Structures are given as C-alpha cells and as structure tokens.
Amino acid sequence: MVSRILEKSLAQSPKSVLLIGPRQVGKSTLLKNLKPDLAINLSSEAEFYRFSSNPDLLSSLIRGSDPTTVLIDEVQRLPSILNTVQAILDDWPSPPRFFLSGSSARKLRRGGANLLPGRILTYQMGGLSSAELDYALDIQKGMSVGFLPQPYLETDHALAENLMLDYATTYLVEEIQAEALTRDIQGFSRFLRIIAPASGLILDTSKLAKKAHVSRSTLNRYLDILEDTLIARRVFSFTDTDADVIRHPRLFFFDPGVYNGLLENFTASLDRVGTLFEHAVYAQILNSAKAAHTPVNISYFRTRGGTEVDFIVELRGKIYAIEAKYGHVNAADIRGLNRFREYYPDVFKSIIVSTEPSRLVLADGTVACDINLLMKELAL
C-alpha cells in the first residue's frame, strides 16, 4: 500500500471536497481511508437506481443517521444529486462534510451541476507520483505499464500488462459509451486507434480526421471527450516570445500505460523508447503537481527553424525549460535549451531529464538529472 499525499490535505480540509481524476487512479481507496460515516457508491447499479429514482433519499439517510462525513463515489453518474448536496450545505444548521469523487468533469457540467465555489474545494488526482514512492520511482516499469497504482505495484508483469489492455479496451470504449458521451462508438473506436500513435506528436487534425474517416469537427469533438474525461490533454505551444513558433498542439495520454494499452505494445523498443520516456516525464510532472495540489501549466516550444524544447513548465510563478533524453546526456542536448534562453531570458532553470541517476550541473548552468531528482528540482 502506498500512502497518497492528497489524503492528509483532504482529511484536514475544513470544507467539503470534490476529488476529480481518471478511473483507477485511487480516488475511492483514498476517500474510503478517511472512514466516512456514510458511504454511497454510484458506480453500483443498485445504488444508482435507488438515488436516481428517489431524489430525497440522500437527505433522508443523513437525517436518519446524522453522519459527520458523507462519501458519494462516482458523482458524475448522477449530477443532480449535487443539487441536494448544495441544499444541505446551504440550508442545514450543521451539515456533514461531503467527500465527492468523479471521473468526468464533462458529465458534471452537462448535468448542470453547481460545484459550489467557496463551499466545495476541488482537488485533482493522478497516478502514483515520485514523492509517493519515496523518490524511488522505477522509470522502466512506468514506461511500460504506467503509474496507476494497481498495475505499477503488481509484481506479475504479464498481469500488469493485461490490466492496462483491459483499461484501454473496456474503459476507453465501453465506459465512454455508457456515459453517453458519444453514440457512434465504432467511429470513436476508430478514432482511438488513429490518435494513439499520434500521442506526443504535433497534431494535424485534417490528416487525422481523414485517417479516422470522420469530419474534422467530429475529430475535435472526440479530442474534447478525451480531455473532459481526463484521459488525455492537448499541450499547446509556448508563445510568450518573438520566435516564429509552431502553434499546433501536441497530445499526451495521462498515463504511459494507457498509451501502451491502446497500442497493445508494452515493449520499450529502440523506435519507441524516446517517446515513452517523454510520456513518462509528462505524466510524472502532472501526477506530482496534482498530489501537491499545485497548479501547473505544461507547454512545448518549437520554432519553424527547428529549435525545440520538449516541455516548458510554469510552476509557482517560475518557468522551467525541460528536455527529456533517454540515455546519456551530451552537448547536443543543450542546444535547444540554450536557444530558448536567448528567446526567453526569464527562464528560471533549464533541465535535461535523463535515465542517468546522478545530478550534474553543466558549464552553462543546465541541470542534468533523472526523473526522481527532477521532481525534487521542481519541489514536487
């Protein structure tokens, strides 16, 4: 069992909380560890039917047992229940503290849910972070099966791969259909097969739409679904310079294991190892920032002349330029970072993250380190 950093923050929160994150990142386990007096699991069909058919049931249960804390799991399945939560928080003299979890911000918004700014604090949760693993994260394992708790901690590698294959085939297709996010499930499945190999690359939506046999507007809608269900994010170009930059976004799945599951390929072969390492670095920055409840913005930098930096990370008012390099660091790896500093002198720190376990400071001040030391450099 790995202790999750967010658990302490949620336990000490003076307000009710909404915990958002993709399926199987550990939301339910974390909230159950807080030992709520009343727990409601809307992923259970029986529970879902009980509460959807009786809007007053939640209020009745709370009146009957007078709990101090109430857990409602998978709240996006019944967004209207948040209206009752709002009424309880607003109108009752001594309301309980609510722990709410959800995996689809889109479903909550479409359900007209009022997330009660000022009353409910919203947290995001990702897969395991380096800090939660005592800065001893196994990058090779993460590049293969990802950072979701169950596959990462599984000692049987074949079983871990099967878990991620199931996640990719069952959740990304069947669950999205079950949430009524798209009616054309065949078109969406075709889109997933096309978009997975494009992960990490600059997106050409016209070409991708043609390959997937869907319109460009449909492809953009499918990309919105991936973002709204927290499965993937578009990473946009850093444009705060006078450089002639490429402005099309890149796409990254939230976890390298999910990416591999979609491709049905968990081998870090020579033609894939660089891309997988980038995915792992991206995922760890996001996971770690979410665990620390710290806002982060990740972009990339690429000029039409060929200068590029993999990630520009804006964190706590500072900007870090980060190049991901699988293997040994050499002089050529700092060229893009040095050129970026010419365009943007205010960069706080330039970092090459590699698979070498030591921390080096190069002659120009660039830090070279591994993924665990990177998180320490970012204070995450």
Counting Cβ atoms within 10 Å, is residue 11 exposed (0-12), middle (13-18) or buried (19+)?
middle
Quote the percentage of the chain above a pLDDT of 90.
Answer: 73
> What's the confidence (pLDDT) of residue 380?
96
Tell me the C-alpha distance between 243 and 336, whole Å.
13
Of the listed ranges 33-42, 101-110, 221-230, the least confidently predicted one is: 101-110
Q: Compute CA distances 86 → 58, 96, 147, 262, 268, whole Å.
A: 12, 12, 34, 39, 48
Residue 105 has pLDDT above 90, yes or no: no
Q: Can you give the length of the chain in residues?
A: 380
**Is 348 in contact with 378 (CB distance < 8 Å)?**
no
> What's the confidence (pLDDT) of residue 168?
86
CATH architecture assigned to 6-124:
3-Layer(aba) Sandwich (3.40)
Q: Residue 234: which pLDDT band, with cuts at 50, 70 and 90? A: very high
Coil, strand or helix at 335? helix
| Radius of gyration of the chain measured on its C-alpha atoms | 22
- pTM of the shown model: 0.93
What letter does residue 279 receive in the DSSP assignment? H
Q: How far is CA 368 from the centre of its chain?
A: 25
- CA-based end-to-end distance of the chain: 21
| Cβ-based neighbours of 338, under 8 Å, separated by 6 or more | 350, 364, 366
Q: Read off the pLDDT of residues 280-306 as tens digits, 9 standing for 90 and up.
A: 999 999 999 999 999 999 999 999 998
Q: Residue 115: which pLDDT band, with cuts at 50, 70 and 90? A: low
More confident residue, 182 or 185: 185
Q: Read off the pLDDT of residues 243-278 as tens digits, 9 standing for 90 and up.
A: 899 999 999 999 999 999 999 999 999 999 999 999
Structure tokens at 44: 């259970």
Residue 111 has pLDDT above 60, yes or no: no
Which residue is listed with tokens 């930096």?
Answer: 309
Long-range contacts of range 31-37, CB-CB < 8 Å, 24 or more positions apart?
31/71, 31/73, 31/99, 31/101, 32/71, 33/7, 34/7, 34/10, 34/69, 34/71, 34/99, 35/69, 36/67, 36/69, 36/70, 36/71, 36/99, 37/65, 37/67, 37/68, 37/69, 37/70, 37/96
Residue 192 has pLDDT above 90, yes or no: no
Residue 32 has pLDDT above 70, yes or no: yes
Q: Read off the pLDDT of residues 116-172 as tens digits, 9 standing for 90 and up.
A: 566 788 899 999 999 999 999 999 999 999 999 999 999 999 999 999 999 987 776
Where does the chain hold its CATH 3.40.50.300 domain(s)? 6-124
Q: Residue 363: which pLDDT band, with cuts at 50, 70 and 90? A: confident
**What is the largest distance, in Å, between two alpha-carbon atoms of the chain?**
69
Tell me the C-alpha distance between 239 and 304, whole Å.
13
